[in-house]
Amino acid sequence: MKKTVLALAIAATTACAGVAQADVKVGFLGGFTGGIESLTPPIFDGAKLAVQEINDQGGLLDGEKMVMPSGDTTCSDASAASNAADRLVNSEKVTAIVGALCTGATIAAANNAAIPGGVVMVSPASTAPAVTDLDDNDLVFRTVPSDAFQGEQLAKLLLSKGIEDVAVTYVNNDYGQGLDDAFTKTFEAEGGSISANLAHEDNRADYRSEIGKLSSGGSQTLVVLAYADTSGQTILRQAYESGAFTQYAGGDGMVGNALVDAVGADVLEGMIATRPGSPDVPGSDIFNDLAEKAGIDPSAVFAAQAYDAAFLLALAIEKNGSADREGLSEALRDVATAPGETILPGEWEKAKKLIDEGKEINYEGASGSAEFDDNGDVPGIVVEMAVEDGKFVTKGPIGE
């Protein structure tokens, strides 16, 4: 009799456990320390905004909550990125990952954890061309255009402003090398002159020797393709102290008001930069409104792209019909590609209903269309940024 009662109790407990709804985990990999530590929080906030809206509008699948455990890649440490990804993939058992942000971190996390684990990654910030060439089994995507495009646009922007002679320094990794290569080829092909082009290592305290070499050619404009919280910041400060340059320019890794505060508003007034932006589409306006209501700066670099990455992964999980990893990349392509009824930011409830009815959807996001090509890349626009009155402001899309 006792055995019978015990068996019934175990069965009842098991049945209750089966009814309990498990959370669906989508991880986030970001550079919470290191070269972009001041840029990472608003990117994370963008992704979490999507999570909040999804949960507020019924959750995933059969009402499960979407949760987002995170890991710190430090941006530049491949071991840290691999370890953080390994924890998300093998300990947290995430279904997918938003991230990483820095290109080296994305490549390390993908090769050492995500690809072996069959986990889809969607980066909102890894812009280097090296991501395109990953042998990733269709698991690595991004919601931001490649630096092959951004480098071209930065070169054309400077030339359009009559800046035809520059010195360039870039952080010696996939991000810096890819951006420099695209910038250099376009700048020189369009008639510009580069007096010095020099790689530098990140996380050093003194770049005066490099600055001396960069200034020896006499260029008044220094282009810094690096990170706002590490080498980029130090180089700008020491370049100003040297008195060698009168104009500064940079790419997306340099766009952050923390950089202006650290180096000095007077020093960087008029600095020119570029970053991937959001086109003037309905999704962008909706995201701006949602972000402002949530206390998030909608213009923060890569915040919109992070929102899209998280929302797209949730749509793919819903389309896939489970929190399983298998089949998710195909589902991701389905929800991001026409034909299908357009889904805009904030329209989770509508999307879930259409998917449940077996209808096709096409997400048009905060940062524009997410029409992934064969490599998981997307088209996009690049916007001009400038430091005015002590902060970075958006001047508008380049070429329009």
Taking only the tens place, the pLDDT of each residue in 157-191 is 999 999 999 999 999 999 999 999 999 999 999 99
pLDDT confidence of residue 209:
97
Helices marked H in the chain: 2-19, 40-56, 78-86, 103-109, 115-117, 147-160, 174-189, 208-215, 231-242, 257-263, 265-268, 282-293, 303-320, 328-336, 348-356
> What dihedral angle (degrees, nearest 10) is formed by the CA atoms of 298, 102, 31, 221?
-70
Which pTM value belongs to this model? 0.88
Please give the Cα distance from 275 to 95 (Å, whole number).
Answer: 30
Please give the Cα distance from 304 to 297 (Å, whole number).
Answer: 10
Residue 5 predicted with pLDDT over 60: no
pLDDT confidence of residue 22:
84
Let me know the angle formed at the C-alpha of 116 by 112 and 122, rounded to the nearest 5 degrees: 80
Neighbour tally for 23: CB within 10 Å: 15
Q: How confident is the model at residue 379 (pLDDT cuts 50, 70, 90)?
A: confident
At 326-362, the pLDDT tens digits run 999 999 999 999 999 999 999 999 999 999 999 999 9
Mean pLDDT of the chain: 93
Asked whether 28 and 47 are in contact (CB, 8 A), the reply is yes
The pair of structure tokens assigned to 10 is: 């175990």
Strands ordered across the beta sheet of 193-200: 193-200, 165-171, 221-225, 247-250, 272-277, 381-388, 391-397
Please give the Cα distance from 145 to 378 (Å, whole number).
Answer: 6
Asked whether 385 and 228 are in contact (CB, 8 A), the reply is no
Q: How confident is the model at residue 258 (pLDDT cuts 50, 70, 90)?
A: very high
Please give the Cα distance from 231 to 234 (Å, whole number).
Answer: 5
Handedness of CA 214, 215, 221, 222 (dihedral sign): positive
Q: How confident is the model at residue 1 (pLDDT cuts 50, 70, 90)?
A: very low
pLDDT confidence of residue 21:
58
Asked whether 122 and 96 are in contact (CB, 8 A), the reply is yes
Please give the Cα distance from 344 to 328 (Å, whole number).
Answer: 21
Cα–Cα distances (Å) from 70 to 27, 125, 190, 305, 311, in that order, read: 6, 16, 43, 17, 16
What does the pLDDT average to over 356-376?
Answer: 93
Question: In terms of DSSP bridges, do strands 165-171 and 193-200 run parallel, antiparallel, or are they unpaired?
Answer: parallel
The SS3 of residue 175 is: helix
Q: How confident is the model at residue 280 (pLDDT cuts 50, 70, 90)?
A: confident
Please give the Cα distance from 385 to 255 (Å, whole number).
Answer: 8
* φ, ψ of residue 94 in degrees (nearest 5): -65, 150
The 8-class DSSP code of residue 123 comes to E
Please give the Cα distance from 176 to 80 (Å, whole number).
Answer: 20
What is the Cα 197 distance to its own chain's centre? 27
Which residue has tokens 């819903």?
318
Which residue has tokens 């009814």?
19
Q: What percent of the chain has pLDDT over 70?
A: 94
